[in-house]
Structure 1
Amino acid sequence: MSEAINQPAPPLDTAAGAPDLFSRFDPLIQMRADLLASGVEDPFGLVMERVCSPTVAICNGRETILLGTYNYMGMTFDPDVIEAGRQALTDFGSGTTGSRVLNGTYLGHKQVEQALCDFYDMQHAMVFSTGYQANLGIISTIAGKGDYIVLDIDSHASIWDGCKMGDAEVVPFRHNDIEAMEKRLKRIPEGAGKLVVLEGVYSMLGDIAPLRQMIAVAKANGAMVLVDEAHSMGFIGPNGRGVAEDQGVLDQVDFVIGTFSKSVGTVGGFCVSNHPKFEILRLVCRPYVFTASLPPSVVATAYTSIRKLMHAGNKRAHLWENSRTLHKGLKDAGFQLGTQEPQSAIISVIMPDLERGAAMWEALLHEGLYVNLARPPATPANMTLLRCSLCAEHSAEQVGQIIGMFERAGKATGII
């Protein structure tokens, strides 16, 4: 590692008395400098030189098993998906250069929205350019000044940002605590607009929400319900519609948010709903109105992938088998996991601290395995996690290899 990387950056010249607007980041700058000074590779700057399949890439010149992507259903290399994108690129060009409310609605955008309606058996669907924008746009538009949003404290950053943008009163409650949620709902002034925001699967620990009970409480207190199913779409539920479907309450959810960047295998976000006034959101939702629409090749791949996910029961079953096998293997090896039992395709391994977590991450990379290093403040309770995201295309042999890699790296670093 070059000596220059470890040296603190010289102070920027600023006008006399002017504050350094980057000062707020000084603790993070120092944390990163300390981490790199310890000699580990930058865990937040890994480059994938070539991606060979949904489960294998070339990193640092060597073949590496991918266990840190959200490619849950392995659709990124599906031949039909790739061909659909290639054909759309030929037929419609590389981009729309416009918003959906201007020139940016192509045939493919309408087709993918219809595919979402069919997938969820709902009447309306809106597609956004990213999943982040879907939460930002829907939440900020339907809950504004004078309204109240009751949400889980562990909600994704896009949910928090949507709350902030809409200027609603935000009332958080302890993670997955039904009683705490109910208490907060009962304190809201009578007549105020109320929105409860939940997630099917929480991305850090991979745990699921008790949606059946929570939605019952929300409805009893006159609240609308939005559920983000980003990490469960395609995988959880009899038809892959998510945790709400799996718990039998999908028909009670007012808005389902999802993304194309996980099980669908491309990029984009969406909201589906049965609300009779839903279509007006196309004219009043700023992150939808003022953003260029997705390129034709992207919506073509999403459309094809979603249609295939409607008939992906065998893939879902294999992914569950992978999740159970990896969870048991890591638990038996002596690792501390984020959940007692596998609840999703995410299995998080709890590290003692950031320094040893980074060392374990690097040891795994040297073994030929890539996982996510998740650090505070993005993690619950300031934990450092190695987050494993399984894929339906991981073979049983690969899962066995992964367990062996964890055991060797764990012993080498003193984690186990």
Structure 2
Amino acid sequence: MSDSPVQQNTRPEAAAATTQLSGILRRVGMIGDMIDRSVGNADHPLRIQIERFDGPVQAVIDGRQTTLFGTNSYLGLNFDPRCIAAAEQALRQWGTGSTASRVASGNQDGHVALERTIAKFYDRPDAIVFSTGFMANMGTICGLASDGDLILYDSHCHASIIDACRASGATFKPFKHNDPVDLDRLLKEATVPASRILVVLEGLYSVWGDVGDVKGLATVAKDHGALVFVDEAHGLGLYGDNGRGVTEAQGAEHLVDAIVGTFSKSVGVIGGYCVTMHPALKSLRFLARAYLYTASLPPAVVASARTAIEIIASEPGLRAEMWRKAERFCLGVEALGYSLCAAPGPVGSIRMRGLVQGMDFWRDLLARGIYVNLLIPPATPAGEVLLRFSVSAAHTDADIDKFLDIMREMAPRAISA
């Protein structure tokens, strides 16, 4: 693997045009030029285009048959025949889109039925469906917290949570990742009543692939009297006896006031939701601008999501199959000498020694028919360069063997100092 500098941008006219700009356009243009110089003109993540899907984890990219280890289809439900049939039926009956928000004419029978299915799945009195997972975080956090409140969030939280904190009008501060002691310190130092503090964390963090200390952090928060919010976007369908996420797996559901999740991972479509345990939180429907002012989910998506959640609830064997393959793959990668950021799980990251190695490694894998995600700063903790992978129940043992064989061939170049 080459240690030579990444190919330089060969479009001098673009850089010259940027120097003639000013203000906002110049700043944005300079960022674009910097990205081009960093990644060069060959294949890179910003230009990848999937030409055809042949199943939940098989696709054609640039004419190459490719196995996707960078998809969030943890259970393969985006190609489940039952989900597709439900979507097709809804498409014929209800058309292609809702054309309005939930509070206008976009509140259809399917949306209400989906919310009831989610509430039953979580054994909670209510659920609210949003049009994306990003909007679920935005709408819920902004609906709960406002000027005069304090949000304390885990420093590894997703960008949607950070944006929601900024938009809420509340004061917000990070606590050290997965650190109940640091959270306790911030709660003790708070100058607002605990009843006006919202503690935000995640069940499964998707950059490193590490599990959140939901029970430990929620216990500290509740000892002070704060509200607790957990994002289970990547934990839904994968953790807990019923597949409700890390919060369930750690026996912490009674400590959590609001759980948010997304349909774009295990459920296989798009959308998000919030489930609550407090009757007072039904007012979120009127306080969450991301709910009030966004067109509701298309009927086909709603029908598929409902079917997928029913499958997750009734077929634990699918979850067990994903775990068997995830542990087999992760342990195989570690045995080859690579450094993983977390214990074996459905999503994880392999540490690279810098952008050049990470980019070369990513391109070599793609050329051999394996797609993973390349993560670079500032989207990663501590400025790390990572290759993020995800494992699906839809992967075959042959898929995993192929990936491990390639990793074995590349190990001498990738691991050596």
TM range (shorter): over 0.9
Separation in 2, partners of 1:171, 1:53: 42
Report deviation, 1:397. Answer: 2.1
Seen in structure 2, the aligned counterparts of structure 1 residues 34 and 213 have a Cα distance that, compared at 3 Å, is: closer
Report deviation, 1:12. Answer: 5.5
Q: Report if aligned partners of 2:8, 2:40 keep a CA contact under 8 Å in 1.
A: no
Separation in 1, partners of 2:19, 2:209: 45
Seen in structure 2, the aligned counterparts of structure 1 residues 170 and 401 have a Cα distance that, compared at 3 Å, is: same
Seen in structure 2, the aligned counterparts of structure 1 residues 25 and 272 have a Cα distance that, compared at 3 Å, is: farther
1:204 equivalenced with 2:207 (yes/no): yes
Counterpart in the other structure of 1:291: 294
Separation in 1, partners of 2:49, 2:156: 29
Matches within 5 A, 1:258-407: 258-339=261-342, 341-342=343-344, 344-407=345-408
Counterpart in the other structure of 1:65: 67
Letter in 2 for 1:404: D
1:33 equivalenced with 2:37 (yes/no): yes
Match of 1:239 among 239, 242, 266: 242
Q: Report if aligned partners of 2:206, 2:348 keep a CA contact under 8 Å in 1.
A: no
Counterpart in the other structure of 1:226: 229
Cα root mean square deviation, aligned: 1.9
Letter in 1 for 2:364: A
Separation in 2, partners of 1:12, 1:381: 30
Q: Report if aligned partners of 2:270, 2:301 keep a CA contact under 8 Å in 1.
A: yes
1:47-95 Cα offsets, whole Å, 9 max, x none, are: 1100111111111112111100110111011001001101111000011
1:259-278 Cα offsets, whole Å, 9 max, x none, are: 00000000001101111112
Counterpart in the other structure of 2:3: none
Separation in 2, partners of 1:58, 1:134: 32
Counterpart in the other structure of 1:164: 166
Q: TM-score, normalised by structure 1?
A: 0.94
Match of 1:253 among 256, 260, 283: 256
Report deviation, 1:237. Answer: 0.7
Report deviation, 1:160. Answer: 0.5
Separation in 2, partners of 1:267, 1:321: 26
Residue segments in structure 1 that go unaligned for 5+ positions in a row: none
1:216 equivalenced with 2:219 (yes/no): yes
Report deviation, 1:6. Answer: 6.5
Separation in 1, partners of 2:270, 2:73: 11
Query: What is the aligned length?
Result: 410
Separation in 1, partners of 2:95, 2:26: 40
Letter in 2 for 1:179: V
Moved runs in structure 1, 4+ residues, more than 4 A? 1-7, 12-15, 412-416
Separation in 2, partners of 1:93, 1:365: 38
Letter in 1 for 2:17: P
